[in-house]
Amino acid sequence: MEVTRSRDYFIAGNWKMHKTRAEAAALAKALVKALKPGKHKYLVAPTFTALETVGAIVKGTNILLGAQNCAPEEQGAHTGEVSVLQLKDLGVDAIILGHSERRHIYKEDDTLINKKVKLALKHGFEVILCVGELLEEREKGKAEAVCKRQTEKGLAGVTPEELSKITIAYEPVWAIGTGKTATPDDAEAIHAYIRSVIAKLYGAQAAKQIVIQYGGSVKAENAAQLMAKEDIDGALVGGAALKEETFAPIAKFS
Ligand code: 13P
């Protein structure tokens, strides 16, 4: 049965800590060509050092420019950090926050992530807020509880108006870069659950409108099956986002 969708699909590529400026420029140029005209909403998130280069290439196209992180403060003595003011200066449209690699490798907690979310919203950015459980949390039956906590705490203090700038990305940590994708049914169960969490926080209409992406070993072979699920509204793609040949088929899935 054809599902009538009230939300547009949003497909984003997270390039993580890959690519020099020249490599990033080549990929961005190939994607601009491949995704025009595209059916969905698109974003690429290069590493900080390639933002300006890629920004110049995607400017005025149907591909948004994303950053992979930002500092929790606007400016000051924060060696090694990049601020929202600097990202604004580069023409960044959206910021990925709470990625599992930030949470688990760099020990970012919900309080810090929430501070970044609020600061990014204050400066008019769209935010992709990542949530997702570890394998041991899933095995202990805690997947929903972890996603609920990360969603609630990540969005603490975010107003109903600001929520329209938020996309949630459900990325089960055990599926990231491992080749193990959550089955469409398992992913759908958590997506529907996260939507119910949003409904409790912001009401049924807001829950109906919020876009929830899936991330974790998304490839051309599994994208359409995942996207066919009622509550899966797009993808946050890592490894397969690094080449036009592997990202474009996901971005153009039908
Ligand atoms: P992979 O697609 O490589 O599993 O990475 C997913 C991810 O972390 C995107 O943010």
- Check if the beta carbon of residue 12 is closer than 8 Å to that of residue 45: yes
pLDDT at res. 4 = 65
pLDDT at res. 204 = 97
**Which of 97, 102, 133, 171 has the most ligand 1 atoms within 8 A of CB, as the residue to mutate?**
171
Cα(120)–Cα(88) distance, rounded to whole angstroms?
A: 10
Per-position b or e across 91-103, b if 16+ CB within 10 A of its CB? ebbbbbbbbbbbb
Query: What is the domain partition of the chain in residue ranges?
Result: 10-251
pLDDT at res. 231 = 98
Q: What's the count of helices (H) and strands (E) in the chain, helices before strands?
A: 12, 8
What separation in angstroms does the CA of 198 have from each of 63, 161, 166, 204? 27, 14, 11, 8
**Which of 133, 176, 214, 226 has the most ligand 1 atoms within 8 A of CB, as the residue to mutate?**
176
Catalytic annotation, residues: 99, 171
Residue nearest atom 5 in ligand 1 by C-alpha distance = 238
Tens-of-pLDDT digits for all 254 residues of the chain?
445 678 999 999 999 999 999 999 999 999 999 999 888 999 999 999 999 999 999 999 999 999 999 999 999 999 999 999 999 999 999 999 999 999 999 999 999 999 999 999 999 999 999 999 999 999 999 999 999 999 999 999 999 999 999 999 999 999 998 888 889 999 999 999 999 999 999 999 999 999 999 999 999 999 999 999 999 999 999 999 999 999 999 999 87
**How many C-beta atoms surround the C-beta of residue 89 within 10 A?**
11
Q: Is the CB of 160 under 6 A from ligand 1?
A: no
Looking at ligand 1, which atom is closest to the CA of residue 217? Answer: 4
- Check if the beta carbon of residue 242 is closer than 8 Å to that of residue 41: no
Please give the model's pTM, rounded to 2 decimal places.
Answer: 0.97
Looking at ligand 1, which atom is closest to the CA of residue 176? Answer: 4
Q: Does domain 10-251 have CATH number 2.30.130.10?
A: no
pLDDT at res. 181 = 82
In sequence order, which residues have a C-beta less than 8 Å from that of residue 215 and are 6 or more positions away? 14, 130, 132, 169, 170, 171, 175, 176, 235, 236, 237, 238
The letter for the amino acid at 236 is L
Q: How many CA atoms lie within 13 A of 26 on its CB side?
A: 7
Q: Is the CB of 14 under 6 A from ligand 1?
A: yes
- Check if the beta carbon of residue 191 is closer than 8 Å to that of residue 212: yes
